[in-house]
A and B are shown apart, each in its own frame.
Chain A
Amino acid sequence: MVLNKRIFRELKANFARYLALFMLITGGMFACIALSSSADSVVTSVKDFMEHSNVEDGCFSVFVPLSDSEIDELCSSGAEIEKQFNMDMLSDDGSKLRIFQSRKAIDIEHIDSGTAPEQENEIMLESSYAKAHDLHIGDSITLSGKTMKITALGVAPDYDFLLENYTDTAANAEKFSIAFVSGKGYSLLRDVNKDSSEEFLYAYTLPENMTHAQLKKLLDGSELNIAETDDKYISELIDRLFGTNGQFSDTDFNNISFFMQRESNPRIGASLAKVGMYHVGGIITGAVILILFAYICSIFVIGTIEQESQFIGALYAMGVHRKKIMLHYITLPVVITLIGGIIGTVSGCSPLGRGLLTSSVIGPYSVPQVKDHYSVWLLVYGILMPPVLAAAVNFICLRRKLNTEPLRLLRKEQKESRLLNIDLHGMGYFNRFRIRQILRELRITAAMFGAIVMGVLLLMIAIVTYVCIDDLAGKYENEIPYRYCYYMKYPDVGNIPENAEACYSKSLNYTYMDFTLQVTVMGVEENSKRFPFEVSHDKNAVSVAEGTAVKYGLRKGDMFCLHDDVVGTDHNFKVDSIVPYSAGLNVFMNIDTARELFEVSDSCYNMLLSDEELDIDSGRVLSVTTRESMTSAVETLLSDMMPMIIMTGVSALAVYISVLYIMMKMMIDRSAFQISLIRIFGYHSNEIKRLYLDGNTLTVVISAIIALPAAKLIIDLIWPIMVYNQPAGYACEPRLWHYAAIFAVTMLCYYITNSILMRKIRRITPAEVLKDRQ
């Protein structure tokens, strides 16, 4: 069709406009596909890994190891049980490795590279720890003076999120990770590390017809085999509790120190939850870009038809069919969006796209080497959605416009909005003109408003994400009232070291948005120096830490129901007060009230807080956490998130500049004839700019003023979803200067666009336009 020869010329004549549209689609699809396909690849790889590694259904730890007969008895019920005893060891650089024996049945570790350790001096390191410490296969690592040769790098499904403690906020592979050794290797390291404690952890899988509660019941009936253990500390504890003659019954002391179902374990499958969000985020980003694009497209179509109405009318008069004309107008946007979709999708799937985002997507998670996964529907979405949408929008708009009678098209008859008759008396000429120009171009104004809302939203997400993680790191630094936190392996009594403060803590589960996280009930001393706030003395009430209140939207007087997996009971607490503490997820009560609530002895504690290292037997200590490691974990989270934050910010700028440019240019194109006329009347370029461009300043300012609180409202709605699986309260509270900064960036983008278009205004000469008209 000869008419299609116009297409290339139209492209050439309006290259900048189509380039901006192309960039919008390419960039949008790039972001959408990169994010979604990275997420898809991670999800597929992790799910595949979890299936092959026979991930646990749950785990429990005991004070005294179960006897073989007890394990056999448990297994006879159909459950599968595997020992996962472990101990923490320090490497030369102070980082901590949790050492496990290689698994055979449950949570089987995956080797990314190398061969499984077989000799006693061989070790498999967790991959992200090896990367963070620049360790490779064949290198050596020294643990408590024992040098081990690295033979493999890999991951384990029960440490998908490398949390040292279940209640930690973030992971930091530089400071803490896991490692696997052979059975001989474990014995060797246990010997060199015999003074330190060992966790007696068991993982289990259940048959289809068995519940966690049934297994728990069987476990509750297990005996406490003091004679079976060589752990002097548990014997000492039993002596303290029941006297040296050992006169106690099993019912007085529950051997289970900890019981957790897989769903409640923050270390398992955390990447899937987080990555799933990125996947949805990617699709939503794409959809929002496409909706914006569709709207812009419709404005183009309507504008083009209005501009070319007479030619179209003439063609109709000659008998050219509507279908041919429609096809002609649809072709260019469809081809551009198809190419944009293809390039955006291909680059999003390329190492560039995935490479950019995979680190943010994987972030702090320990997952196997991600295999590229190409979801067919995602490719179809990325490649076909833009042209299909362009075709659909063009079709709908064109059908309506081209249904006009040929005569009306020839006469350029257009419906005039009643809004244009608005009474603006009393206003100066320039203001009247600008307002009428805005009203005349209401569709364009609406597109600019949409772009500004979207840009402000993206900028706010970027800024809020950065600021709230950074703030949290600051709060950790300032609010954590200790340098060292010792988690005791056994509940201890008396003998609180000097300069230390004892607490009794218990981790309970809270399920929010179908995701279970652990909330620590902290029993703190009366008039605590480290927690200088009033805490509840009521067994049925808690003082909720600010971070926890932020996370779950709790207020004074609310009820907060926590579940105890070990005992299988619910605790309904009333929120007594909100106290200023942001680290992790905690609620506070008086230590004696906590002891009474959890039925432990009057002087019992299981946590020691101190500003200096304590001289206590390492065998008593399950693990030690420092303020520095907690803060640095949050800082690591921030650096993991940086590519995502930068990309979101850049996307905002791209949306601003491309949409503002396209729309404002269109406004000028449509007014070109008028501009040439008023130039004839003697107007200078600056005065023309004041009339035709500066009216947009009002649009942009008002849009930004509306968009800022609107974006905050939207973020308030989506923020809990974005951080639902984060074990900390990330307060989404942009400050005044954040609003000011977003406003300034918006205005800057507008002024840049305005300046670019000023050159176009200067190029409009009366002669050229009038000749065109003739």
Chain B
Amino acid sequence: MFIEIKNAKKQYGTGEAAVYALDGVDLSLEKGKVYVILGPSGSGKSTLLNMIGGLDSLDSGELIIDGRNISSADKKALTVYRQEDVGFVFQFYNLIPDLSVEENIEVVADISKSPLDMDEVLKALDIEKYRKRFPKELSGGQQQRVAIGRAMIKNPKLLLCDELTGALDTKSSLAVLKFVEKINRSYGTTIIIITHNEAIADMADSVIKIRDGKIAKIKENPQKKAAAELEL
């Protein structure tokens, strides 16, 4: 298995105010597949994504990614892990406003050992013509594509998308999801998408439902839809 999560627990707050964001999660994910994690607000899906991305640490349990035990890694090792293996896409893009499209992507290419070709990524995401523009000159969908480009340029093994269409309209959302699908196909990248939007689940190889910090259901999706066919 590419990702192995065993009895993962995470608690925020103490005493009566304690909340179990993850309450004994066990999960196995395969390489090169698209996973969608669904769940209501506060269910623990973002916490799970952050754990997998090395942004947060478990209170107990194990998290093994590509044979590496992330749950016991120190800060330095986590930084190297994020640098080499993980690409993040956020709901609000978090692009640097005073860097152009190309430069925003270059920031990550700079620290990558074997980055993809910039032109190839820009072309794949259809943002070639905007390469010299600044984020504020782009629409939300275009900005999110830049954010995907930034995450993909280092050719990560794992692409983590946190509500990536949450701030987009339907048309832009579809366009962005098409690019995510294309990345999975072209580069064999394992993709985890967390979302509220159940319609997105149709494009996943596997749908994981999470509730109150526990895995409620895992549903394989042998007849997954192409992104273009989604009814958002």
Q: Which residues of A contact B (CB under 8 A)?
A: 1-3, 5-6, 9-10, 13, 308, 310-311, 313-321, 324, 405-407, 410, 771-772, 774
Alpha-carbon gap, A324 to B112, bound state (A): 13
Q: Does B184 contact A (CB under 8 A)?
A: no
16 pairs, CB–CB < 8 Å, chain A vs chain B:
A5-B103, A6-B98, A6-B99, A308-B96, A315-B107, A319-B80, A319-B81, A319-B108, A320-B108, A321-B79, A324-B111, A407-B55, A407-B56, A772-B136, A774-B92, A774-B140
Q: Return chain B residues, CB-CB under 8 Å to A10.
A: 98
Alpha-carbon gap, A671 to B120, bound state (A): 40
Nearest chain A residue, comparing its CB with the CB of B103: A2
* B156 to A: closest C-beta gap in Å: 9
Contact across chains for A318 and B82 when beta carbons are under 8 A apart: yes
Q: Does B63 contact A (CB under 8 A)?
A: no
Q: Does B59 contact A (CB under 8 A)?
A: no
Q: Return chain B residues, CB-CB under 8 Å to A407.
A: 50, 55-56
Q: Which of B27-35, B83-91, B216-224 contacts A (4 or more CB under 8 A)?
A: B83-91
Alpha-carbon gap, A300 to B83, bound state (A): 29
Nearest chain B residue, comparing its CB with the CB of A310: B94
Q: Does B110 contact A (CB under 8 A)?
A: yes
Alpha-carbon gap, A318 to B111, bound state (A): 9
Contact across chains for A2 and B106 when beta carbons are under 8 A apart: yes
Q: Does B150 contact A (CB under 8 A)?
A: yes
Q: Return chain A residues, CB-CB under 8 Å to B90.
A: 314, 317, 410
Alpha-carbon gap, A761 to B106, bound state (A): 35
Q: Return chain A residues, CB-CB under 8 Å to B92.
A: 310, 774
Q: Does B44 contact A (CB under 8 A)?
A: no
Contact across chains for B87 and A318 when beta carbons are under 8 A apart: yes
Alpha-carbon gap, A394 to B64, bound state (A): 38
Alpha-carbon gap, A319 to B87, bound state (A): 9
Alpha-carbon gap, A771 to B82, bound state (A): 30
Contact across chains for A311 and B96 when beta carbons are under 8 A apart: yes
Contact across chains for B110 and A319 when beta carbons are under 8 A apart: no
Nearest chain B residue, comparing its CB with the CB of A7: B98
Alpha-carbon gap, A320 to B80, bound state (A): 9
Alpha-carbon gap, A313 to B56, bound state (A): 12
Q: Does B53 contact A (CB under 8 A)?
A: yes
Contact across chains for B82 and A319 when beta carbons are under 8 A apart: yes
Q: Does B151 contact A (CB under 8 A)?
A: yes
Q: Which residues of chain B in 67-120 are interfacial with respect to chain A, using CB atoms and an 8 Å cutoff?
A: 79-84, 86-88, 90, 92, 94-99, 103, 106-111
Q: Does B25 contact A (CB under 8 A)?
A: no
How many A-B pairs have beta carbons closer than 8 Å: the answer is 84
Q: Return chain B residues, CB-CB under 8 Å to A319.
A: 79-84, 86, 108, 111, 154
Q: Does B167 contact A (CB under 8 A)?
A: yes
Contact across chains for B53 and A317 when beta carbons are under 8 A apart: yes
Q: Return chain A residues, CB-CB under 8 Å to B136.
A: 771-772
A-B pairs with lowest CB-CB distance, top 3 = A319-B83, A314-B94, A319-B82
Alpha-carbon gap, A1 to B108, bound state (A): 10
Asked whether A318 and B106 contact (CB < 8 A) given A311-B96, A774-B167, the answer is no
Beyond A10-B98, A317-B86: 4 further Cβ-contacts under 8 Å?
A: A2-B107, A314-B95, A319-B81, A319-B111
Chain B CB within 10 Å, residue with most, of A1, A2, A10, A410: A2
Contact across chains for A13 and B98 when beta carbons are under 8 A apart: yes
Contact across chains for A318 and B151 when beta carbons are under 8 A apart: yes
Q: Return chain B residues, CB-CB under 8 Å to A310.
A: 92, 94
Q: Which residues of chain B in 129-173 are interfacial with respect to chain A, using CB atoms and an 8 Å cutoff?
A: 136, 140, 150-151, 154, 167
* A741 to B: closest C-beta gap in Å: 44
Q: Return chain A residues, CB-CB under 8 Å to B99.
A: 2-3, 5-6
Contact across chains for B94 and A410 when beta carbons are under 8 A apart: yes
Alpha-carbon gap, A574 to B5, bound state (A): 92
* A247 to B: closest C-beta gap in Å: 102
Q: Return chain A residues, CB-CB under 8 Å to B107.
A: 2-3, 315, 318, 320
Nearest chain B residue, comparing its CB with the CB of A313: B94
Nearest chain B residue, comparing its CB with the CB of A10: B98
Nearest chain B residue, comparing its CB with the CB of A308: B96
Q: Return chain A residues, CB-CB under 8 Å to B50.
A: 407
* A11 to B: closest C-beta gap in Å: 10
Alpha-carbon gap, A410 to B88, bound state (A): 12
* A154 to B: closest C-beta gap in Å: 63
Alpha-carbon gap, A318 to B110, bound state (A): 11
Nearest chain A residue, comparing its CB with the CB of B109: A2
Nearest chain B residue, comparing its CB with the CB of A315: B107
Q: Return chain B residues, CB-CB under 8 Å to A313.
A: 94
Contact across chains for A311 and B103 when beta carbons are under 8 A apart: no
Set A311, A324, A406: member contacting B55, Cβ < 8 A = A406
Nearest chain A residue, comparing its CB with the CB of B100: A5
Q: Return chain B residues, CB-CB under 8 Å to A316.
A: 55, 79, 82
Alpha-carbon gap, A212 to B195, bound state (A): 96
Q: Return chain B residues, CB-CB under 8 Å to A321.
A: 79, 83, 111
Asked whether A6 and B111 contact (CB < 8 A) given A317-B82, A406-B55, A772-B136, the answer is no
Q: Return chain A residues, CB-CB under 8 Å to B95.
A: 311, 314
Chain B CB within 10 Å, residue with most, of A310, A313, A318, A772: A318
* A715 to B: closest C-beta gap in Å: 46
Nearest chain B residue, comparing its CB with the CB of A311: B96
Nearest chain A residue, comparing its CB with the CB of B47: A407
Q: Return chain A residues, CB-CB under 8 Å to B98.
A: 6, 9-10, 13
Alpha-carbon gap, A406 to B79, bound state (A): 10
* A312 to B: closest C-beta gap in Å: 9
* A764 to B: closest C-beta gap in Å: 15
Q: Return chain A residues, CB-CB under 8 Å to B151.
A: 318
Contact across chains for A320 and B111 when beta carbons are under 8 A apart: yes
* A7 to B: closest C-beta gap in Å: 10
Q: Return chain B residues, CB-CB under 8 Å to A774.
A: 92, 140, 167
* A385 to B: closest C-beta gap in Å: 30
Alpha-carbon gap, A5 to B136, bound state (A): 17
* B50 to A: closest C-beta gap in Å: 6
Alpha-carbon gap, A536 to B160, bound state (A): 95
Nearest chain A residue, comparing its CB with the CB of B94: A314
Chain A CB within 10 Å, residue with most, of B50, B90, B94, B108: B94
Contact across chains for A318 and B150 when beta carbons are under 8 A apart: yes
Nearest chain B residue, comparing its CB with the CB of A319: B83
Alpha-carbon gap, A9 to B80, bound state (A): 30
Alpha-carbon gap, A13 to B106, bound state (A): 22
Q: Return chain A residues, CB-CB under 8 Å to B56.
A: 405, 407
Alpha-carbon gap, A321 to B108, bound state (A): 11
Q: Return chain B residues, CB-CB under 8 Å to A315.
A: 107
Q: Return chain A residues, CB-CB under 8 Å to B140.
A: 774
Nearest chain B residue, comparing its CB with the CB of A774: B140
Nearest chain B residue, comparing its CB with the CB of A2: B106
Q: Return chain B residues, CB-CB under 8 Å to A314.
A: 88, 90, 94-95
Chain A CB within 10 Å, residue with most, of B50, B88, B110, B154: B88
* A656 to B: closest C-beta gap in Å: 31
* A507 to B: closest C-beta gap in Å: 72
Nearest chain A residue, comparing its CB with the CB of B80: A319
Nearest chain A residue, comparing its CB with the CB of B56: A407
* A223 to B: closest C-beta gap in Å: 92
* B149 to A: closest C-beta gap in Å: 12
Nearest chain B residue, comparing its CB with the CB of A6: B98
* B29 to A: closest C-beta gap in Å: 19
Alpha-carbon gap, A320 to B136, bound state (A): 23
Alpha-carbon gap, A407 to B160, bound state (A): 14
**Per-position 1/0 for B22-46, Cβ under 8 A of A:** 0000000000000000000000000
Contact across chains for B88 and A318 when beta carbons are under 8 A apart: yes
* B86 to A: closest C-beta gap in Å: 7
* B13 to A: closest C-beta gap in Å: 14
Alpha-carbon gap, A515 to B35, bound state (A): 85
Set A2, A308, A317: member contacting B88, Cβ < 8 A = A317
* B91 to A: closest C-beta gap in Å: 10
Alpha-carbon gap, A493 to B199, bound state (A): 122
* B206 to A: closest C-beta gap in Å: 24
Contact across chains for A2 and B110 when beta carbons are under 8 A apart: yes
Q: Return chain B residues, CB-CB under 8 Å to A6.
A: 96, 98-99
Alpha-carbon gap, A308 to B86, bound state (A): 22
